[in-house]
Amino acid sequence: MQRNIILIAFAVTLMQPAKLLSQEINWFKLQKDQKHLINVNAGLDYGISFGARYGYHLRSTIPILLIADFSIPSGENLVDDFKTSVGGYINLYQADHFQFSAKILGVFRRFENSYARLLNFGSDMGVAAGYYKRKWFVAGEAGFDKAIVTHFKHSAIYKQNFPSVQDGWYEPATGGNFYYGLQAGLTLKRNDIYLKAGKILTQDFSTTPLVPFHLQVGYNIWLN
């Protein structure tokens, strides 16, 4: 059992193969006729990763975006690992150029190495606050990316060394990371170019992942 706990903790730290999803949007410039968001991005987050995102701007009294995101790490076999997120962003508070927003996302991840294949369901929740103008913005963000339940399918190599190991779902929650950082962007008509950077800390507040920081550059396109 102890071997499984160690493997879970180690694997969940590694199995976050793609970026931490942030709210890189110029909320001050967002117009009601901007309905569809297309985003592409690349960065360093547990490794080099690439992603694409679609957002839909709801008709509501406060700005709300429904989000679907897909990202993969670079590597020899791109289909081994991926991360998908579905949820929403909401702009909770506006005071002239100061904006405060939050996000809540459901997450599904896949990770595979020579010891096991992992499928994980989790969540990603966070807040962002900053100063937004028509042509630029800068903000800080903090959040928590949680692995809630994970399915393990161990490889033949692992089972040869530990014959008693069992495949299946492992719960309760198997790991998580806190993250925080800064983001800045330029807005050109209906396009945003942004850069973000920050730090990552495991949920015990005493350790960090192998790569303890994240960096990303991205491009938003808004369509009617």
At residue 113, what are phi and psi to the nearest 5 degrees? Answer: -140, -165
Query: In this structure, what are the phi and psi dihedrals at residue 159, rounded to the nearest 5 degrees?
Result: -70, -25
Q: Indicate the Cα dihedral angle 203, 118, 50, 124, nearest 10°.
A: -40
More confident residue, 46 or 165: 165
Tell me what the mean pLDDT of segment 19-24 comes to: 71
**18-39 mean pLDDT:** 85
Q: Answer for the pair 164, 4: CB distance below 8 angstroms, yes or no.
A: no
| Residue 73 near residue 17, CB atoms below 8 Å | yes
Chain-centroid distance of CA 202 in Å reads: 15
**pLDDT single digits (tens) 80-100:** 789 999 999 999 999 989 999
Q: What is the pLDDT of residue 183?
A: 96
Question: Structural domains in the chain?
Answer: 2-219 (2.40.160.20)
CA 79 – CA 77 distance, rounded (Å): 6
Using the 8-state DSSP alphabet, how is residue 156 labeled?
H
Tell the residue number behind the tokens 């096991």, with chain if given: 116
Residue 20 reports pLDDT greater than 70: no
Is the pLDDT confidence value at 1 over 50? no
Across the chain, mean pLDDT equals: 86
Distance CA 174, CA 148 (A): 6
Quote the pTM value: 0.84
